[in-house]
A and B are shown apart, each in its own frame.
Chain A
Amino acid sequence: MESLLFYVFAGLAVLSTVLTLSVKNPVYSAIFMILSFAATAGVFVLLDAFLLATVQVLVYAGAIMVLFLFVIMMINLRNKEAEGLRISPFALLAAGTFLVLLGRAINDLGPAVGRRANELEGTPELLAETLFTGYVVPFEAVSMLLLAAILGTVVLSRRQTGEDAR
């Protein structure tokens, strides 16, 4: 049952990602990408990452994709640049090389050792304990990064006035 659900969610994620990249209208792309992220959240649940599945739905499928949709609607393409997918041999070559290398790497993988069952696995309790003990410095660094991103966004989006505007 568990592995059947995994294949359902994995197939849904790959299918909706393909649709994201191949449809012409960017709004449809964003909608299919929300589906792709939701399916990935299902995969996360099956891999015992319960908190991260919630974060994936709230932050990725919620906040980030709403941001994308807002920008798509503000830019308002007037259908002139609605171009579809152009099959480029270089892109297929790059992706094919990557997949072949990954296949070799998976082949060389030693026998996977299933970890001991932990009743706290993926809960906020265990994740928070690790995050705020062993990873305090990276956590603070990420908070500074987010602050820098906020400042950069405000500066870049300010409407330029006077002689600055060209």
Chain B
Amino acid sequence: MIPLEHVLVLSGLLFALGLCGVMMRRNVILVLMSIEIMLNGANVALIGFNKYLIANPVDGSVAPDGQVFVFFTIAVAAAEAAVALVIAMALFRRLDTINVDDVANLRW
């Protein structure tokens, strides 16, 4: 039996690594990959909690709510990756760069 704490530590490590990647890498594609890693870390936590859910005290039934959430997360991540990668392509076509430091027009 895997302790829930260890699953949560794995999830937190993946999330923290993704956070470091978002803040440290300047290539927009690597920033997107880091965001996917953070989503993946959250998925690990959801599936871990799903395994240790307490059964419904009334009828003893267990619904896989956490796994359904992960299903939705994967769908949202796919949509996000498609749109964000097209934005990166448009950025490269227009400005000939994918370095996020070169695209700071909206920064105060």
Contact = CB atoms under 8 A, between A and B. Distances in A.
Range of interface residues on B (Cβ < 8 Å) = 35 or more
B89 A14 contact: no
B103 interface: no
Contact of B20 (A6, A67, A91, A150): A91
Contacts of A112: 3-5, 52
B70 A91 contact: no
Interface string B79-94: 1111101111110100
A116 B61 CA distance: 9
Interface string B17-43: 111111111110110111011001001
Interface in B49-89: 50-55, 60, 62-65, 67-68, 70-72, 74-83, 85-89
Contacts of B74: 52, 55-56, 59-60
A153 B86 contact: yes
A40 B36 contact: no
B40 to A, nearest CB: 6
A51 B66 CA distance: 13
Interface in A10-39: 10, 13-14, 17-18, 20-21, 26, 29-30, 33, 36-37
A106 B5 contact: yes
Contacts of B88: 71, 75
21 contacts: A6-B2, A14-B13, A14-B14, A33-B37, A37-B40, A48-B51, A52-B71, A55-B74, A74-B89, A75-B29, A90-B23, A91-B22, A98-B12, A98-B19, A116-B62, A121-B62, A130-B64, A130-B67, A134-B68, A148-B79, A149-B79
Given A67-B82, A113-B52, A149-B78, 8 more contacts: A13-B14, A47-B50, A68-B33, A99-B16, A115-B55, A116-B62, A122-B64, A138-B72
Interface of B: 1-10, 12-27, 29-30, 32-34, 36-37, 40, 43-44, 47-48, 50-55, 60, 62-65, 67-68, 70-72, 74-83, 85-90, 92, 97-99
Give 3 closest A-B pairs by Cβ, nearest first: A91-B23, A149-B79, A95-B16
